Amino acid sequence: MTGGKGVKVQGDHFQTKKDALEYCEDVLQTHPSVVVEEKFEGEEFSLQCLTDGKTVIGTPPVQDHKRAFVNDFGANTGGMGSYSCENHLLPFLEKKDVEDGLEITKKVAEALYKETGEYYKGIMYAGLIKTKDGVKLLEYNARFGDPEAMNVLPLLKNDFVEVCQSIINQQLHKIKFKFENKATVCKYVVPEGYPDNPVKNEKISIGKIPKQARLYYASVDSREDGLYMTSSRGVACLGIAEDLEKAEKIVEEAAKSVKGKVFHREDIGTRKLIEKRIRHMKDILSHKIRKL
Ligand code: GLY
């Protein structure tokens, strides 16, 4: 495990087989093994599901932004921010894509039981990608996504404790789930230099934030004289509204109010970036983008 930051993609982080082997050799100095996977071209999305081992419930799909800088430049991070839409789809997804992701997850939950004889109870957070050949599975995490949890949990109208109890008691099928039909945008405020060379122990201050915004404190230290950043993602800001444009405006104002040696991605949830995603998906579906 490399803290979610070990993945290198051909054509992006390296070009040739030789480059790939050199990276593998580097990793093998400090880690026991390397996983090599088929490369998929497409748009990634997160489908965080709840399961009691028998029933699997999907939450609204979310798109995370792994790259550190605006326009998807820079190193991979734990996730710089994410968005979800009021119709519980994403601008490049059809209803069928989300259903396919859920179907894969149901089959995996079933297979887990068949193979282990035990019901897996908890979160199945599927990392999925829509390709020209349909939705493919990249990975599962047995936890919510960070930041994606902050997009979906505030929309959940049910009592979360009851939901958790129904997972434990295998009564999830009895719960009538309701997620608000609202758009969400989350942006992480991180230390300058993050993720490769973050400045540490820098004091931050938080100005006036819009009343509709929420702030979630992550890697920050609360000291007698105020708040200090550590070396990781510090404060997650969230905007919830009827549509993406409004949610983005709220969150951007909140993120800007965090002052200090910090930055955030201004482009997450903006029309410009969303249109780029839609174009990318259209090109893939029309076979304009071929595998390297
Ligand atoms: N958003 C990426 C993760 O939680 O792993």
> Ligand 1, atom 3: nearest CA belongs to which residue?
145
Q: What CA–CA distance (Å, rounded) separates 228 from 54?
A: 44
> Ligand 1, atom 5: nearest CA belongs to which residue?
145
From the CA of 79, give the closest atom in ligand 1.
1
Does residue 252 line the site of ligand 1, with CB under 6 A?
Answer: no
From the CA of 143, give the closest atom in ligand 1.
4
The pLDDT assigned to 292 comes to 47
Residues pairing with 235 in the sheet = 189, 217
Q: How many CB atoms lie within 10 A of CB 238?
A: 24
Does residue 148 line the site of ligand 1, with CB under 6 A?
Answer: yes
Let me know if 59 is exposed, middle or buried by CB neighbors in 10 A (0-12, 13-18, 19+).
buried
The pLDDT assigned to 288 comes to 67
Tell me, in angstroms, the distance from the centre of ligand 1 to residue 225's CA: 32
Q: What CA–CA distance (Å, rounded) separates 188 from 204?
A: 14
In a domain, 91, yes or no: yes
What is the chain's alpha carbon radius of gyration, rounded to the nearest angstrom? 20
What domain count does the chain have?
1
Range of the domain at 241: 39-291
Cis peptide before 154 (omega within 30 of 0): no
The pLDDT assigned to 4 comes to 65
What CATH number did the domain enclosing 223 receive?
3.30.470.20
In a domain, 31, yes or no: no
In a domain, 243, yes or no: yes
* Cβ(109)–Cβ(41) below 8 Å: no
In a domain, 259, yes or no: yes
The pLDDT assigned to 136 comes to 97
From the CA of 4, give the closest atom in ligand 1.
5
Residues pairing with 222 in the sheet = 227
In a domain, 32, yes or no: no
In a domain, 75, yes or no: yes
Tell me, in angstroms, the distance from the centre of ligand 1 to residue 151's CA: 12
In a domain, 12, yes or no: no
Residues pairing with 137 in the sheet = 128
* Cβ(50)–Cβ(56) below 8 Å: yes
In a domain, 10, yes or no: no
pLDDT, one tens digit for every residue, the chain (292 residues) = 676 667 888 988 899 999 999 999 999 999 999 999 899 999 999 999 999 999 999 999 999 999 999 999 998 898 999 999 999 999 999 999 999 999 999 999 999 999 999 999 999 999 999 999 999 999 999 999 999 999 999 999 999 999 999 999 999 999 999 999 999 999 999 999 999 999 999 999 999 999 999 999 999 999 999 999 999 999 999 999 999 999 999 999 999 999 999 999 999 999 999 999 999 999 999 976 655 4
Query: What pTM does this model have?
Result: 0.93
For residue 254, give the H/E element and its range. helix 244-256
